[in-house]
Structure formats: C-alpha cells, structure tokens
Amino acid sequence: MNRRHITLILVFGVAISFALICETAVSVAQSGSVSTTAPVRPVQLTRGQLAALRELFPNVYVQTAAPVTGPFGRETWALVWEQKPVSENRCPKILISAYDIQSCTGFEHALSGLAHIVRLKSNFIDSLSLTRFFQHDANPSGIEIDGQRGPRLTFLPTHFRFEFLDLNGDGFKNELLIHVSNGPYAYIQYWIAITVKDNKLTPLVGDDGIKPLIGNRDAWLDLARTGHGQSDLYCGVRCAEIYQRWTLDREKQGHITGKWLWTCSPDDPRSWKIGEPQHGCPE
C-alpha cells in the first residue's frame, strides 16, 4: 500500500468520524431528554368524533388534532373553529406605531375567528373557548380601522401544532401554551397554559381562582424543566422606569403559583413589591 492510498484512507476515516459526530449531535438535540417540548404528530379524527363536533358547531373547521395522555387516559385534543377561519386582516403590513407593534407582534399571518380546544375519545368530552383570553387590546382586535376596533376573536398561527408540557410535575405532558397578548411595545409576549382539572379543560389560574397565570414562553418552559419560571420587563421611560417581574413556581402536589412584582431598584432584593405598580419611578 503506497502513501497515496494511506492518505486517502485517513481522510475517508476522518470524514466518517465527523459525520458520525454531527449525526450524534443532531440526535441529542432532537431527543426528548434535551428538549422540554416538541410538536406532536397530528392525527385524523374519526367519523364519530367529527359527527360529535358537528353537533356542537354545524360548520366546524378542524385545524389540527393530536393524541395526548393524561390522568384520564389517552385522549385526542383538537383545535377547532366554529367556522372556517380567515386570515387576520387588521394589522398593517409594516408595524410603525407603538400601538400596532404591541397589538400585532407575534400575530402576523394569524388565522382569526372563534376557536376552541376540544377533548375527544370515541366521542366528545369537553371544550374550552379560546376567545375569552383575547378580551383586551394587546392583540389584533385592538387595532382601529376608521376609528373602529375589531370584534373580539381568537388569533392563532396558521402553522399551529400541539406541543404538550408537564407543568405540574404529575408525570403527564398534557398542558398546552397559547400566546394571547403582548406587554408594552411588545417587549414581552404573554402566554397562558391550558390543563385539565376535575376532568375539565381550564387555564392555570392564580390564587384568586380567576385570572390565568401569565408568563413568556421561556418562563413556562423553565417551569416545566426546573419548577421555576421568571419573566422580566423593563422598557425605560416608556414604562415610567419601572422594573416588573412575573414568577411561576411549582409547589407541593403540583400546585402552581404566580407572583407579579415591581421595583425601582432591581439590584436591591428587598425593594421588590408584590402586586401591580402603584406609581412611576424617579428618573
């Protein structure tokens, strides 16, 4: 074997090793042990499930459906619209004003209409209207056209796919995140989490039992991974120099608590106050 053959063998061996390393890295990056969440492969609904949906919504439009296993066994969750949704048409193509930015960021190319999350087995179990979570102006409903705001609708991505998390630590990935609005100037996006409690679809709520807990997407992912998530917001003079923070914590028996804090001196741990800001901070 001459020197040229040896060189070719070495080069070929290095190339194979490098390819194996890259393949391993990709496999690790895509494995469940590294990623907290990944889209679930969609499934087709059965004729019986579709018939049950049409009894609820005669003109139902099923965008996507996916299997999920929770405390009540294996189910199918579906994102359905009362009728075929339309493309969001209130946001300008170029977001110029601060109000447009806050209302439209993250909702570009969204579908709009009246949407529900539905649980099914062989037939209908339960449903939850999503439109109730969009009853404010920090989504495209708040955009004014000729001085008129739009109807309160649900706005969801055209590429929506179910991604389930285990937020309460019960061993079941059956919590779902939904982006519902934005903070000032879209410096932060607000997401809620939907779960099943007492065999009913419901948002995860705070200690008052009414208001849904909110956080940015990363805070919810951190909660699933570590039991604690934190969202921070600071937008300078636009927000009266106030620093705000939302925390999510998993307590005993999987109970999730949330706190809203604010301060004018973020470096002083003792300065953080619970609740909504009561005044602006001195410049």
Residue-level pLDDT at 36: 57
CA distances from 219 to 33, 192, 250, 271 (A): 19, 11, 12, 22
The domain locations on the chain are: 35-227
pLDDT for position 7: 41
pLDDT along the chain (283 residues), means of 10: 41 38 34 56 95 96 97 96 95 89 93 97 95 92 90 95 96 97 94 96 92 96 97 92 96 92 95 91 86
Looking at residue 207, its pLDDT comes to 87
